[in-house]
Structure 1
Amino acid sequence: MSPKKNDDRLTEYRGRRDAGRTPEPVPGEGPLPRGDDDTFVVQEHHASSLHWDLRFERDGVLVSWAVPKGLPWSPETNHLAVHTEDHPLEYATFEGEIPKDEYGGGKVIIWDRGTYETEKWDDREVKVVVHGSRVSGRYVLFRTRGDDWMIHRMDPPADPDAEPLPESLPPMRPVRRSRLPRDRDGWAFEFAWGGRRLLAYVEGGRARFTDGTGRAVDGPARAGTRLGAELGARPAVLDGELAVVEGRETYLICDVPHLDGRPLLDVPYRQRRERLDALGLSGALWQTAPWFPGDGGAVRDAAAAQGLPGVLAKRLDSPYRPGEESDAWRFVPV
């Protein structure tokens, strides 16, 4: 990673891009601009595989690494960082859609940007202090082999109260009842889809799954990476059901027991559902399942009309109790 002559720092970058086809900045040859070597940017890159691009202004270019799982928030975990070609300084403000048949095709979003200070910079180790709106602190990148580096957070966790995702979480289960609750104002109602219960653990742009017993299983085909890309850098545990809807296998998400480093087990059902709805999870392979406070009778009639097995009645104030069968959740057949 030794500095090259100014006239060839961007040769590799230009060689991989067609200025007539990509919206990315492709500056012509010539002297590089002079900056203050203090700008950094992290871009969320929805290419063939979701990753985050970490870039530091250095000697007239943006020295760049692709970080598949994003920057580590705690010193307990190191993340892979793959050194890539230098980018032009103009790339620090780039957002847009790179055509799919072009190098790096996919959406690019600025995830964070700010300033940084250099403590050490050589061919094998880069030590910096970053000051962004979403990430701040001391980080070190160290080379392992070839273009493979690792990135390590040197400071204490960015959020000391954040908790990692659980390794496994057995889902809360409903009891079976023949009638809907009488106090319907205290309940919400969902469709029972008759599918397979799955919990998704989404982190670093990827998802893994467990079944109704908490055992690791394969998830819906192709859904793991795509669902991870939908949430980006937000870690979450999602509770749902894999069922066939309109002829297509779909992961129907109905709860979020853990989000953004916070367990939501003691948060009432109504608030968990509102937080889940705010995530806007909707794709070809997954959907946020609807919920209907109040009128369970109409939901039950609609379930019967669709040939579904029944409805789930859930108390609006109910916590999430992993592995428990609770009367706060009730399955009522049609």
Structure 2
Amino acid sequence: MTPKKRKKDADPLAEYRGKRDAERTPEPVPDDEALPHGDDDTFVVQEHHARSLHWDLRLERDGVLVSWAVPKGLPWSPETNHLAVHTEDHPLEYATFEGEIPRGEYGAGKMIIWDRGTYETEKWSEREVKVVIHGSRVSGRYVLFRTRGRNWMIHRMDPPADPDAEPLPESLLPMRPERRARLPRDQAAWGFEFGWGGRRMPAYVEGGRTRFTDDRGRDVDGPGGLGSRLGAALGARPALLDGELAVVGGREIYMVYDVLHLDGRPLLDTPYQERREALDGLGLSGPRWQTAPWFPGDGDAVREAAGEQGLPGIVAKRLDSPYEPGEESGAWRFVPSR
């Protein structure tokens, strides 16, 4: 139903039940009986790893959870509106649901509670819903307004949730190493990575989606499925990653070796060692992407291992070095494996 007062003789969960088999899905599928009475103040946002990652916003209203699928999540700033697709009403029990919806079933994929709490209604009509949300991860005044059919938009009415947060840059040229014949003498001051010999592709990840650029800052297509799956791995966390598409073990893998912007914070001036530790903390490891290993202070062993694996060389990076976009810097050095 559209977000309005339901008719007493209508069954707002008929569409919900019609799409689900209670014997096949772990989702709550209540019997056709009187709806529970609540206080119309519960909200939940669920991260839904379905065919396409999205976030489901649900607001308790007249005994059901009125629901919208929000592909990019709730906007953190009033400068950007996000699409919100109105879906079928869900039972109140869904506010606590987490689990794996089986393949072949409607909405197949993992459902995770991203945030929940209470809300207050300022306005509720067929075309506009204005609420104040009180959650642990998202709080503030939001308005949903209908544009066409089931398509709505959601707009944040308050100032940005984090006034100091900065959006991802539109484009950033990658930093390049100088070519050297020998390893640095003071190896304890350096970290060492394998030189993969791949294609440089910074990745801009936001709202579960990924955009790639090349080493000249131009938009390029990533391998089929890589962008959406990498975006799903980061979920709602915006990040700018530096890495390259390389052939590893006979397969094309996106090797990630730096993070330049994370959770609204630019990291260009952050020392390399701290950026690498932040990257490791993201746990990025999947079938088409990996966090590239790094080794502080032992360049000789890394160079020897690179030669044994047939890699072109290694990259030495000063532990205290900032990221210098577009520059060829002596703080990074490519050393051939032979």
TM-score (norm 1): 0.99
- Offset at residue 225 of structure 1 (A): 0.6
Aligned match for 2:173, one of 160, 170, 174: 170
- Kindly state the Cα deviation for residue 6 of structure 1 after the two structures are TM-superposed: 6.0
| Identity among equivalent pairs (%) | 80
Can you list the C-alpha shifts for 1:31-71, whole angstroms capped at 9, x where unaligned? 00000000000000000000000000000000000000000
Q: Which amino acid in 2 is paired with 1:17?
A: R
Find the partner of 2:43 among 34, 40, 43. Answer: 40
Answer yes or no: is 1:139 the counterpart of 2:175: no
Partner of 2:123: 120
1:220, distance to aligned residue in structure 2 (A)? 2.4
- SS of equivalent to 1:301: helix
Equivalences for residues 22-171 of structure 1 within 5 A: 22-171=25-174
2:329 counterpart SS class: strand
> For the Cα contact (< 8 Å) 1:137–1:155, is it kept in 2?
yes
Aligned match of 2:256: 253
Q: What amino acid sits opposite 1:171 in the alignment? A: P
Contact 1:95 1:108 in 2 (8 A): yes
Instruction: Please report how far the alpha carbon of residue 221 of structure 1 lies from its aligned counterpart in structure 2 after TM superposition.
Output: 2.2
Q: How many aligned positions are there? A: 334
Structure 1 residue ranges without an equivalent (≥5): none
Cα distance in 1 between the residues matched to 2:9 and 2:311: 67
CA contact (8 A) 1:312 1:330 kept: yes
**Distance in 1 (alpha carbons) for counterparts of 2:143 and 2:10:** 29
Matched letter for residue 280 of structure 2: D
Aligned 8 A contact 1:77 1:152 in 2: yes
- Residues 64-112 of structure 1: per-residue CA shift (max 9 Å, x gap): 0000000000000000000000000000000000001100000000000
Residue 281 of structure 1 corresponds to: 284
Report the equivalent of 1:197.
200
Distance 2:335 2:9 in 1: 71
Q: Does the aligned pair in 2 maintain the 1:7–1:29 contact within 8 Å?
A: no
Report the 3-state secondary structure (helix = DSSP H, G, I; strand = E; otherwise coil) of the residue aligned with 2:93. helix
Runs of 4+ in 1 over 2 A off after TM superposition: 4-7
User: What one-letter code is carried by the residue in structure 2 that aligns with 1:326?
Assistant: S
Aligned-residue offset at 1:4: 3.6
RMSD: 0.7
Query: Aligned-pair distance for 1:7?
Result: 5.4
5+ residue gaps, structure 2: none
Secondary structure at the aligned position of 1:127 is classed as strand
Shift of 1:216: 1.0
Q: Aligned residue for 1:302? A: 305
SS across alignment from 2:237: coil
Tell me which residue corresponds to 1:290. Answer: 293
The correspondence for 1:271, drawn from 265, 271, 274, is 274
